Amino acid sequence: MSCPRCAEGYILPGEPKGSIQPDFSGAYLAPNPDAETTASDRAVIVLTDVFGLPLKNPKLIADTLAERLRCDVWVPDYFNGRPIFGLDVMEPPQREDDQLTIWDWLRILCKTILPNLGALWSNRPSVVDQRVASVRPNFLMFQQSNEESNVGRLILPQFISLLKEKKGYKKIGAVGYCFGGTACIRLASTGLIDGGVICHPGPFSIPQVRAIRSPVAWVCAERDEFFPNSKQHQSEAEFAGRKDTDRFVDYEFKEYKGTVHGFACRPNLQKPEVVESYKSALDQTASWFEKTLVS
């Protein structure tokens, strides 16, 4: 499912410094800057929004995190080369300071959702849930799919297992944006990651929040159709209610004023205050991983 904000935003300036790794199903790797002198036993995975790897923003984010954390940062192609949206549908924010209207929803329905029904269907929540929840560490990295022409579909738990096996990482964190934020919620319930950062996620349920068992930080937009204040408060109350129990995990919620869904990965470059919030969200992300992966 998508909202009009999902197709809005800007492409970040700069060019990625890392490279695509064919041996890891075409994932992008932003390498540890100290790799030649000091090996790192931790890594971070960046889970993209609906534009996937063709959008360079997650690669640039990975480069920044690799530099800040001094570790490898990976961006897997979990859409298997077929992102939900192509870059041709991205447009600058239309009504960033206003509530979305019925006309905004009709516009995204006609321009973006209907032409991409096939990609939306093949990446619907039930398929993604199964893909992310299928924890079989010693199994194959790919699974067959009868509903797509592409038969190889990357399974995130198996990708993580491959990284640990081939790279020797002892701790792995994950940060997800929009679609990837929801995937991060699911991953945080598997025990496969040691820390997660959830940035303005897509649709999810409170029972999914209850299942989380990894420390998680939440990057929240002030206006978010998928994650309104009421749901933020429900989610935060769930974690607060675990205090002094064996289910407690560390957590934090930060809301960025003047922002909307998507700001942490596709910020409005025409608004300095939004760019500053984007940078602050990256700082929050790096600090959370410094806390959860280094100690």
**pLDDT tens-digit map of 63-87:** 999 999 999 999 998 887 888 888 8
Predicted confidence at residue 33, as pLDDT, reads 95
Q: Is residue 146 domain-resident? A: no
Q: Is residue 176 domain-resident? A: yes
Q: Is residue 141 domain-resident? A: no
Residue with tokens 């991983």: 289
Q: Is residue 137 domain-resident? A: no
Question: Mind listing the pLDDT tens digit for each residue in 179-199?
Answer: 999 999 999 999 899 999 999
CA pair distance 221, 215, nearest whole angstrom: 20
Q: Which CATH number characterizes residue 275's domain?
A: 3.40.50.1820
Could you list the residue range(s) of the whole structural domain that residue 62 is in? Answer: 19-131+153-293
Residue 161 has pLDDT above 80, yes or no: yes
pTM of the full structure: 0.84
CB atoms within 10 A of CB 56: 18
Q: Is residue 211 domain-resident? A: yes
Question: Mind listing the pLDDT tens digit for each residue in 90-134?
Answer: 877 755 555 656 555 455 555 555 555 555 555 555 554 444 444
Q: Is residue 2 domain-resident? A: no
% of residues, the chain, pLDDT over 90: 60
Q: Is residue 12 domain-resident? A: no
Q: Is residue 35 domain-resident? A: yes
The total number of structural domains in the chain stands at: 1
